[in-house]
Each structure stands twice: as structure tokens, then as C-alpha cells.
Amino acid sequence: MKRYRVGVCGGSGYTGIELLRWLRQHPAFEVEFVTSESQAGKSITNCEPYLFDYEGMVYRSLEDKANFQDTDLVFLALPHEVSAEVAPRFLEAGIRVIDLSAAYRIKDKHVFEKAYGFSHPSFSLVSEAVYGLAEWQSQAVQKARLVANPGCYPTSILLPLLPLVQSGLVSEGVIIADSKSGFSGRGRKTDIPGLFFEMNENFYAYSVGNHRHQPEIAEQIHTYSRGSYEIVFTPHILPIDRGILSTLYLPFDKDPTEDVYHLWEQAYGDAPFVRILKGRFPQLKWVQHTNEVHMSFTYLAAQKRGIVVSALDNLVKGASGQAIQNANIMCGLPETTGLITQKGV
């Protein structure tokens, strides 16, 4: 098997560490360097003692010129502003980029800058960036120089929803997405809301009505849908480490259950990381530490509403696992390479 030299930028945050955990078992990807501005010059295993496979490696600064040499592909697990600055430098060096930030996900500059609060220095690259929802964009991902890895909440919402709105099965109107994420979705921050005492035995909604993932979700629905839909998205934080469970409320004029499952089977029958459940609903324990997404459906006839429930691991299928899945596709490898999954719950 051909070997590919990869770099991980932002290797001391949760998504960067998750990348390193999965990459250590990948048969085709060899980690050439790992960056961390907060830990630059320090041994990786001194900072993260459980990353035994990286013994002898030292965190580099992003500014190290060696980062831009002898590398085939780089993962950017960086703040949005930093990715927007550094991605062009890797592309200019002939290195393909998978960006786990939101810097290249949204096609409308005004919408992006309103949501993320900074002036984008390399927005022209957005036009060529492929939105890496792997099950929907595999052909484009294979040819891409720059892949915008989707957000965790959008992945949990879009994968079950897109086949339904693309077909026109969902009645036009308002789609409600109620999503709950484990605490790692906040990132590796040290602040008062992140203290154990603040989070333990607590549960709350946040960024109500203005979460940054809202325009990303809306843009993708608009891209694929045959009808007119509005999305109401409310995220919540759970007092657990990882996982997202999303409940979607969809308008239907009549019972669409048979059609929903038929469309899902058409879209994902051969997708190794999508599990379609009938007669039971996803649980976070079933998807934690996997690159899978589970989805199920029921219909409420009296309310003419369908309910979709989906679940995934926000650090894996919602971030680092999907990034590796996209990297596999870019390199012409089976998308399951290095992402062990077992069928059967």
C-alpha cells in the first residue's frame, strides 16, 4: 500500500488529538509533523502521555518552514481565523488540505463574516473548496485540493435530511432541528462555563437562534432541496464527554414512512458508516468512538409531523473521523481505511 505523508495542525486540541489517535492505526498515512502554538517545542508524549505512538516527536510551531515540505496532505484542526490564514500557504506548497474549521464551508462571504465575526483573508478559495459531506461528495472530494470538513451538528442533521428534501418528500415549511452535544463540542477551553462544577449535572441550550452552524445547515439544504424550507436549529450541551443526538421535526401531508426508508436505503445502502434503524431509535453509546451515524424515523399522523432521530460521535464522524474518511477518498483509498467499524448493534 502506498504511503502518504500527513501533517496535523492544532494537535493539542480535542479534534487534533482525536486525529492523532485514529492516524496511529492508519496503514497508509504517516504523520510527519504535529503543530501546537501553545505547546510548541514540547514533546507530544510529555503533554499527552497516552499518545505512545508519537514518542520522540515534538510539537512544532505553525511558522516552521519544514511544515511546508515533504508532505502530501495536511489536516487543519485550527481556529477559523488561523485556518483562513494558513490554508493558502499549504496549497501554494502543493499540499492538499482538509480543513476542520468553518473557514471554507459557507459560500456567501457576508453570511460567513456575520456568523464568524472576522474578515476572511482568503475567501476566494471558498469557490473551489469541496464541502466534505463524504457520502454526498465523494467524487468531488477525490479531485479536490481543499476540503471543508462539515461541522458536527450539520453532519448529524444533513445526512438523514438531504435525501428527503432532495426528493421533495418533505412538505414545504419549517424544519425544526433540536440537537444535543457532549461537552467536548465546546473545544479544549479553560473558562468558567467549562469547569466541572459548572457542567456536572447541568444541561442547557446555547446560541439560541444564532448558532454559527445555522447558515451552514441552511445553505446545504438550499443546495439540495426541491422545495422551500426554513430551518430552526437549537443546540444544547449535555454533561457527557462526546456524542450528538439530533431530533428533527419535519412536515408531511401523509405518512411517508415507507418512502423515507426507501430513500435512505437508496442513498446509503452501500455507505459503510451509515446505519439505518427500524423500530428503535439511536443511542449515543452505540456511536461513541466510531465513525458511524445512526438514524431512524417515525410519523405522528395527528400532527402531520415526521420525527427523525440521528446520532453520531461529534469528535469522530462529526470531525476527525470524517476528515480521515475524506482523506482516504482524496488518496484513492477505501474510505474505511483506518476507520474500523463493525456492522450490527
pLDDT score of 156: 98
Supply the residues annotated as catalytic.
152
Element (H, E) at 178: strand 173-181
pLDDT at 293: 98
pLDDT value of position 195:
67
The number of beta carbons lying within 10 Å of the beta carbon of residue 241 is 14
Backbone φ and ψ of 333, nearest 5°: -95, 160
Cα–Cα distances in angstroms (integers) from residue 283 to residues 182, 243, 246, 343, in the given order: 13, 9, 11, 15
Residue with cell 504511503: 3
pLDDT of the residue at 344: 39
What CA–CA distance (Å, rounded) separates 18 from 14?
Answer: 6
d(CA 96, CA 215): 26
Whether 93 contacts 60, CB under 8 Å: no
Residue 152 near residue 136 (C-beta atoms within 8 A):
no
What domains are there in the chain, each with its CATH number? 4-150+318-330 (3.40.50.720), 153-314 (3.30.360.10)
pLDDT for 201: 77
Taking only the tens place, the pLDDT of each residue in 120-158 is: 999 999 999 999 999 999 999 999 999 999 999 999 999
pLDDT of res. 27: 97
Q: Could you tell me the CA-to-CA distances from 146 to 28, 42, 262 in Å, in that order?
A: 20, 29, 33
As averages over each run of 10 residues, the pLDDT of the chain (345 residues) reads: 95 94 96 94 90 93 94 97 98 98 96 94 97 97 98 97 97 96 69 67 85 94 91 94 97 97 98 97 97 98 97 97 98 95 45
CA neighbor of 161 nearest in space, from 236, 229, 234? 229
Helix (H) or strand (E) holding 140: helix 134-143
Contact 313, 290 (CB under 8 A): yes
- pLDDT reported for residue 247: 98
| Cα dihedral sign, 149-131-62-55 | positive
Report the pLDDT value the prediction gives residue 183, as an integer from 0 to 100: 80
The pLDDT score that the predictor gives to residue 185 is 57
Which pLDDT tens digit goes with each residue over 253-310?
Answer: 999 999 999 999 999 999 999 999 999 999 999 999 999 999 999 999 999 999 999 9
- Residue 213 amino acid letter: H
Rounded distance between C-alpha atoms, residue 32 and residue 66, angstroms = 10
SS (H, E, C) the chain: CCCEEEEEECCCCHHHHHHHHHHCCCCCEEEEEEECCCCCCCEHHHHCCCCHHHCCCECECCCCHHHHCCCCEEEECCCHHHHHHHHHHHHHCCCEEEECCCCCCCCCHHHHHHHHCCCCCCHHHHHCCEECCHHHHHHHHHHCCEEECCCHHHHHHHHHHHHHHHHCCCCCEEEEEEEEECHHHHCCCCCHHHCHHHHCCCCEECCCCCCCHHHHHHHHHHHHCCCCEEEEEEEEECCCCCCEEEEEEEECCCCCHHHHHHHHHHHHCCCCCEEECCCCCCCHHHHCCCCCEEEEEEEECCCCEEEEEEEECCCHHHHHHHHHHHHHHHCCCCCCCCCCCCCCC
Predicted TM-score (pTM) of this structure:
0.93
Q: What is the pLDDT of residue 340?
A: 79
**Contact, 6 vs 90, CB < 8 A?**
no
